[in-house]
Amino acid sequence: MLLIYQSHLIWYPEIFLDNNVCVGIMSDSSERPKNSELKNCIADENSNCVVCELNGKLICVVNKKFANRFLIGNITYRVLALTILIFSGLLIGHWWMLISYAIILPLTFLVIEPRLLCSHCPFYEKEGKCLKCWALRGMPKLWEYKPGPATRTEKTVMLIFGMFIDVFPLVGSIWGIIHFALNTINNLFAGIGLIVITILFLIVAAYFSKILLGNACKKCANFSCSMNKVLEEIVKKFLEKNPKMKDAWIKAGWKEE
């Protein structure tokens, strides 16, 4: 999720927390039973977020408006990436970049990212066969929920796939533009098309960077993601509310200072 994942094409702050889902339910979240089998408070429909001290400090509840904008931004980014690789294929004369991207892109979102990253996210424990979070909403849940943090290997492999789907189109763009520069007259259509699409791609990439890196990553509840920037004290408070997660984190080597 560079992508990312979004200025002022959208407006977001309070959208991270839409407490409608949790309003009027049961007692104060601080009174949740300390049962290790209890679902984490994001997945537990009985959580009372209204009185929770973390309300507004984490992206705990999905706001459909924000999630839809995120989805549109993400789809736009990927369509532009594929278009870049089509134009560069026209210029360079081979298609392996487009084909490999078209295969790895769905594989990443459908299988790899849900396994390596999402299966450790509190949202993954929600009911249902599809993800109900704000980012990869609707992806099938093929894996078991793992309350512990992602391992170093999982994070490394995820970074490799993430870099590929986010940055590889720029390799195709630069390569294609070099071909265009070497033979401008014969490649006017594809060359100009590639430059225009690359500019649009960079604008969407900046939009995603601002939203994700600048905001969402500071509030994302998937604390073990390499890009996560939630403050340690918030992580501690969240784990305190969720003993099953806390146990799994401690077993994985997390230390409460």
Establish if 29 lies at the interface with ligand SF4 (CB under 6 A). Answer: yes
Q: Least separation, in Å, of the C-beta of 208 and ligand SF4?
A: 13
Residue 55 is given by DSSP the state: B
Integer Cα distance of 99 and 9 in angstroms: 31
Task: Compute how many residues bind ligand SF4; rule: CB under 6 A.
Answer: 24
Establish if 228 lies at the interface with ligand SF4 (CB under 6 A). Answer: no
Q: Which of 41, 67, 92, 211 binds ligand SF4 (CB under 6 A)?
A: 41
127-150: buried (b, 16+ CB within 10 Å) or exposed (e) per residue?
eeeebbbbbbbebebeeebbbbbb
Establish if 3 lies at the interface with ligand SF4 (CB under 6 A). Answer: no
Of the candidate spans 50-58, 67-75, 88-96, 226-234, the one that interacts with ligand SF4 by CB under 6 A turns out to be 50-58
Q: Least separation, in Å, of the C-beta of 41 and ligand SF4?
A: 3
Integer Cα distance of 126 and 124 in angstroms: 5
Q: Least separation, in Å, of the C-beta of 214 and ligand SF4?
A: 16
Establish if 123 lies at the interface with ligand SF4 (CB under 6 A). Answer: yes
- Distance of CA 222 to CAs 53, 72, 122, 170, 253, Å? 18, 22, 7, 28, 17
* Nearest partner of 173 among 191, 188, 187, 186, judged by Cα: 191
Establish if 131 lies at the interface with ligand SF4 (CB under 6 A). Answer: yes
Contact indicator for 29, 49 with CB cutoff of 8 Å: yes
Name the site residues for ligand SF4 (rule: CB under 6 A). Answer: 22, 29, 41-42, 47, 49, 52, 54-55, 58, 60, 117-118, 121, 123-124, 131, 133-136, 222, 238, 241
